[in-house]
Structure 1
Amino acid sequence: MTSISARGESPTVALERFNKSLKGQALEASIYSLTSLLKRRQIYDSEPCAVATANLLLQVVAKSKATDVDQLLSQISTVGSRLVAAQPKEPVVANIVRRVLGLIRDEAEEDRNGNMSQSSGQATPTGTEPLTTGASTVAGDSFSTLRQALTRASTQTPPGPYSVPKTKSLLHLLSAAGPTDGSVFGLNLSGSSTPTSHGRAKIQTVRSEVIDGIEEIKDEIDQVDDQISANAEAQIRPGEYVMVHEPSATVRRFLLKAASKRRFTLIVVVHPSRQRTAGTVYADLGKSLAKYGVSTINVVSSGVTAYMPRVNKVVLGSRAVFADGSVLMDAGTAVIARAAKKQGSAVVILSGVYKFSPEIPFDEAALVDWGNPSLAVDYSDGDIVNHVTVENPVTELITEDLVDIYVSNLGVHSRDHLSNIIDEHYKQEDLEFYTAGDTY
């Protein structure tokens, strides 16, 4: 269920305000604005946080004054570190930063491979042939000196993945191995203006491609619900009893898609504090399902075990799916998942790939978010409230052994398949980007 922030607005409204502010605002002001919104929990939940992060990083890439790929990577890492520090309990923020870092690395690699292809047709000197310049031949001691310089330059290991490739033209080899003044045998090979121009053109090309890649990530997030719901017909069978917990927009879309092809009974579990408003919140869902002949039953969480013997399948949304298969979810889902496991009912997790995190949650307490305790205990109860500490969790973690199937925008996955998807979407060197220390 989407709650309301302390400011009195939904995260969607706060996201719209932030997106509008990006147009005429300085970059540093935009970074400060989003970190503040995340800290104050005005922008929260997976999708708004992911979209806000992608929009901000697009601005960073577009407005960055980086002159090479390494500088751009450093700036994105630093801004991403600030966002993660502002709200470490929203794993999708770090996921989007990693995706953008991966885009930059991929585009730089493609650019490097393109340069290698262009230079492959150029002649590369060998140590057994004399070097001729015009009508003159370099021989004897001069040739030995040049040959040693060429050998050193061609066998040196590049300092990083974006360095000049080993296959170089003679001009670059002489420049790399020659004296610091850029002259070799009286020829001025410094070429100081050419590398600078090439580097500027290269970073502009990478920047343009990365901006397009970020737009594709945003489109992916926007289309996730439709792509996940395409699997609904295969997951829900006619006559089944399906249980959900305060269904998110993704789960509602999934159920409506299934109802268009299947007839089943839906059991909606709600927290006791939201029992009064559940009828209003899910009224549209109930009416839409009723058009397809699907009946809906609203149940408070304390009655889960009574209904579970009839339940065939439990369908749950997620905030994040971790590398080990554990899932960060809204509070109240763990008891449903445990009851389903005990009863032998299948638990299906719906999650976009952008929520798949390469991390493993060793510290569960660090991920749990806490909300307004007055939703659990009414402060009008009097003296007892003044003598107890009330904690109202908003999220909780369920372990991987409680989950049977993961349904994403890429299809249906088992727990063992998650690592393959994560490896395809994140670079190993970006997994812990937020440990970098420089301030942007």
Structure 2
Amino acid sequence: MTASSIPDLGSNSLSTSDPAAVRSWLSKHHPKQLALLDKFEIELRLGRLSSTTKAGPDGVIAAVGATSTSDRLLVTRRTVGLLKHIIGATRWKNGAQLLVLLRGLGRELHEVGGFREPVIENIVRRVMAAVREEAAGEPDGKATDTGRLSLQSILWALPQHVKSPSNRSLSRTDSHQRQSSIASEADLESTNEFPPAFYVNRPELKQTVMEAIQEIVTELEDVYGNIEDQATNHIHAGEVILTYGKSKTIERFLIAAAEKKRTFQVVVCEDSPSFGGHEMAKSLAKAGIDTIVIHDSAIFAVMARVNKVLLSAHAVLANGGLVASSGSNMVALGAYNNAVPVVVITGMFKLCPMFPHEGQDTLNDLVSPSKVMDITEIKDDLLSSVELINPVHDYVKPEHVSLYVTNVGSFQPSYIYRLLAEYYHTDDWKSFE
């Protein structure tokens, strides 16, 4: 066996995806990338990732100012920028090492608050899927036969099929070919987590992975435009449309329909106590759209006059369910009881490979109740017997959603599960839990 045929698994490589090991490896070999990761994590903890950004001299997106509302697309783009910079600057040798690095980064971000921003973990899984696709291809850049790769993956996943070739009677030529295409037998037995092709040292792999990441960047840049192109397919003349709170995606969707000469009326729920609906209504009215603001308590009363409900998404779950801002479930229930279709406007970067095992608590977070009421006004005897809960999000069941309008088309909730296979590899769905 030649020394060049064995992947470098020495001190310069990363053999475990434990976050502590990843930080130690970055600290020793890539301190600049560790500093970039630390800065990203600080902004994540402080909730400052949704800030106005610009590209720095090294091509990394940096925050320059805060915004009043969260922007999931901006968070996603900043995550892609972080991964692109780390992958391009670190010294990994093959697809297996890169996947270990990405998995460790995903776990690190999950622990510091990434579970509150599911788009961060989604984009890490998306990049991991791209790495798997590129690593499974032939060295000349041609993709491996899909059927053969699927069978190989199935066999590789079964421990009883992972056997040492030492008992086989191989010729010198066959033995040399096997040794030059995969890692040594000892390496495979110690790691045996990925298919053999992932342990091949391919110098061109970094370039192909960076090109795949650039395709993701391009897709994110076109998210709003692709959604706006579908506005006239879902908004018709004379309709009364109800929306809840403020959403940049829905705002641009409605304005795009108005610019294409659609005449309609929008009813905006004020979304108390943040009152984002007032800001939303002001933007729509400025664009020439007939807009009415109502109290949240009037939702059920006006729902019978509504033709369609538009909701935004914090995350789209694997079963077709929706995680949206608190109060959205009330809107969806009102629409369901009045047979009004609920259309969710969202980008596919919010597609999350998670099932709602925790029900209404899925991907949810609780904040201080002081944001919705003045605790000092409550009598002391009531405070001891009353539990005040202020959830940030709501879970909406898939049967209460009629359609998802995304940047890649429109889909019913029952089709969402099929889309997961196109964006993420099944082995990466639970990589960060």
TM-score by length of 1: 0.71
**Contact 1:349 1:406 (C-alpha < 8 Å) held by counterparts:** yes
State the match for 2:402 in structure 1.
404
Question: Which of residues 26, 34, 49 in structure 1 aligns to 2:32?
Answer: 26
Give 1:396 shift: 1.3
**2:97 aligned with 1:102, yes or no?**
no
The alignment covers a number of residue pairs equal to 342
Aligned partner of 2:416 in structure 1 is: 418
Match of 1:82 among 108, 115, 140: 108
- The CA distance in 1 between the partners of 2:256 and 2:78, in whole Å, is 28
1:91 aligned residue (98, 102, 118): 118
Task: Give the Cα separation in 2 of the matches to 1:116 and 1:258.
Answer: 41
In the alignment, which residue of structure 1 is the partner of 2:192?
none
C-alpha distance after superposition, 1:139-178 (max 9, x if no partner): xxxxxxxxxxxxxxxxxx7889xxxxxxx99746347589
Structure 2: gaps spanning 5 or more residues: 1-29, 51-69, 145-160, 165-169, 181-198
CA distance in 1, matches of 2:171, 2:342: 60
CA distance in 2, matches of 1:359, 1:382: 39
Residues 244 and 59 of structure 1: CA distance in aligned 2, closer, same or farther (over 3 Å): same
Decide whether aligned partners of structure 1 residues 199 and 344 sit closer, same or farther in structure 2, where only a CA change above 3 A counts.
Answer: closer
- Compute the displacement of 1:69 (Å): 1.5
1:230 aligned residue: 229
SS in structure 2 at match of 1:390? coil
The aligned amino acid for 2:428 is D
Residue 301 of structure 1 and its aligned partner are, at CA, apart by 0.7
2:16 alignment partner in structure 1? none
Residues in 2 aligned to 1:234 and 1:169: alpha-carbon distance in whole angstroms: 64
Aligned to 1:217: 216
Q: What is the identity, as a one-letter code, of the residue corresponding to 1:250?
A: T
Aligned match of 2:49 in 35, 43, 61?
Answer: 43
Instruction: Note the C-alpha offset of 1:280.
Output: 4.7
Tell me if the contact between 1:64 and 1:72 (Cα under 8 Å) persists in the aligned partners. Answer: no
* Structure 1 residue 251: Cα displacement: 0.3
Counterpart residue number, 1:173 = 175
* C-alpha distance after superposition, 1:105-136 (max 9, x if no partner): 1111223475899xxxxxxxxxxxxxxxxxxx
- Deviation of 1:85 after TM superposition, in Å, equals 2.1
Does residue 305 of structure 1 match 2:284? no
How far does the alpha carbon of each residue in 1:272-315 deviate from its partner, in whole angstroms, 9 at most, with x for none? 3244x754554232110x2xxx3100011111011111001000
* Pairwise CA distance, 1:35: 2.5
What are the superposed Cα offsets for residues 171-201 of structure 1, whole Å, 9 maximum, x if unpaired? 46347589xxxxxxxxxxxxxxxxxxx965x
Identity %: 26
The counterpart of 1:52, out of the listed 78, 81, 105, is 78
Residues 342 and 63 (structure 1), Cα distance of their counterparts in 2 relative to 1, 3 Å cut: same
Structure 1 residue identity aligned to 2:300: T
Q: In structure 2, how many angstroms separate the alpha carbons of the residues matched to 1:116 and 1:240?
A: 49
Report the aligned-residue RMSD: 3.1
Q: Is the aligned partner of 1:329 residue 2:328?
A: no
Contact 1:377/1:390 (<8 A) preserved: no
Q: Quick one: distance in 2 between partners of 1:116 and 1:56?
A: 27
When structure 1 is superposed on structure 2, of 369-378 and 408-417 the one drifting more is: 369-378
> SS of the counterpart of 1:237?
coil
CA contact (8 A) 2:241 2:264 kept: yes
| Partners of 2:171 and 2:339 in 1: CA distance | 67
Which residue number corresponds to residue 165 of structure 1? none
Tell me what 1:376 maps to. Answer: 372
Partner of 1:241: 240
Render the CA deviation track for 1:220-245: whole Å, top value 9, x for unaligned: 22221111121111111111110001
Q: Does 1:257 align with 2:256?
A: yes
Structure 2 residue 340 is matched with structure 1 residue 345: yes
Equivalent residue letter for 2:97: Q
Deviation sequence 1:319-373 (CA, Å, 0-9, x none): 1111101011011111010000000100001111111112212013242122342
Contact persistence 1:89–1:366 (CA under 8 A):
no
Displacement, 1:263? Answer: 0.8
Give the structure 2 partner of residue 207 of structure 1: 206
Contact 1:244 1:267 in 2 (8 A): yes
SS of alignment partner, residue 272 of structure 1: coil
Flag the 1:335–1:280 CA change in 2: closer, same or farther, 3 A. Answer: closer
Q: 2: CA distance between counterparts of 1:278 and 1:415?
A: 26
Shift of 1:40: 3.1
Residues of 2 paired with 1:379 and 1:106: CA distance? 54
The 8 Å contact of residues 246 and 277 in structure 2, kept in 1 or not, is answered as no
Q: Does 1:319 align with 2:318?
A: no
Number of the residue aligned with 1:151 = none
Closer, same or farther: CA 60–172 of 1 in aligned 2, 3 Å: farther
Give the stretch that moved more between structures: 98-107 or 419-428: 419-428
Q: What are the equivalent positions in structure 2 for 1:279-294 lying under 5 Å apart?
A: 279-280=278-279, 282-288=281-287, 290=288, 294=289
SS in 1 for 2:93: coil
Contact 1:243 1:311 in 2 (8 A): yes
Listed as ranges, the matches of 1:102-121 within 5 Å are 102-112=129-139, 114=141
Assess, with a 3 A threshold, how the Cα gap between structure 1 residues 113 and 284 changes in structure 2: closer, same or farther.
same
